Amino acid sequence: HIGTMALLVAALYPIAVLAFVGFSQAFSPLPLCPTRSCASFSSSLLQSTSEDGMTTLLIGSLNRIGTDAHLILASQSPRRVEILDMMGLAGKFTQMPSPLDEEALQVELATQTISPEDYAKILAERKAEALGLHLKNTSDDVPEVPTFILGSDTIVDLEGHILNKPNDESDAIRMLQSLSGQWHRVHTGVALYKVSKSTEVTLVSSFTDTANVEFAGLSQEDIEAYVDTNEPLDKAGSYGIQGIGGQ
């Protein structure tokens, strides 16, 4: 069965990790996940030890975000706004949609041999990069202080098959039927880019975090009733764990 809070943490926590660790690279001596996924970096997330043996708390960098550095969330997702707010970043970042043509990118990636994990990471990278390039080309919008752009994307992976947003209600029903009673994987790609007036748009770090999810068996009546709520129609895999789909 779907563990609502567990999946929310698995899907959204990587954003918090990358935002913390990415800014720490700019403001403290903490290495940026050099040998392992940032998602497994949680045990040392809130503190690090510098070369002189002093402990540096990453929370100490938060007050510099919005003044010494600017953070832009390249997403319209209210859930991703919520996770940054929960980190203590409420009012310290701006939210801007990426100009990336996601459908065109998905068509491009469909012609390539690529793992679902890499697929999610590339989507996140391209979202953040596209916004960075847009800001760079309209230089009046680039703040004088260093600007970090945070991009993220989540996909559903059923036995190696990527389930994007459904095309219509029939497609949503088909996806939910295929997920019913099955295990699948939810991949969240996260990317952090840096842009300023004097430098190029550069990738700071990117990674993919994965949650394993088991669906309960769903009756046809439940599937059709859920699709009738319209919630699945703009969700990867045709369900939203944070909404009715988390029942």
Among 153, 130, 148, 147, smallest CA distance to 197 is for 147
Distances (CA, A) of 180 to 80, 177, 238, 239: 27, 5, 12, 11
> For residue 79, what are its two tokens?
């859930």
- pLDDT at residue 12 greater than cutoff 80: no
If one compares 68 and 153, the residue with the highest pLDDT of the two is 153
53 pLDDT band, cuts 50/70/90, is low
Compute how many other C-beta atoms are within 10 angstroms of the C-beta atom of residue 93: 20
Distance CA 72, CA 2 (A): 31
Cα of 86 vs its chain's centroid, Å: 15
d(CA 158, CA 86): 31
Q: Which pLDDT value is given to residue 187?
A: 92
Rg (CA), the chain: 19
Of 13 and 163, the structure prediction assigns the larger pLDDT to 163
**Confidence class of residue 80 from pLDDT cuts 50, 70 and 90?**
confident
What is the distance between the alpha carbons of residues 150 and 128, in angstroms, rounded to a whole number? Answer: 6
**Largest distance between two CA atoms of the chain:** 63
Is residue 179 pLDDT above 60, yes or no?
Answer: yes
Catalytic sites, residue numbers: 153
Euclidean distance between CA atoms 220 and 204, whole angstroms: 45
182 C-beta neighbours (distance < 10 Å), count: 13
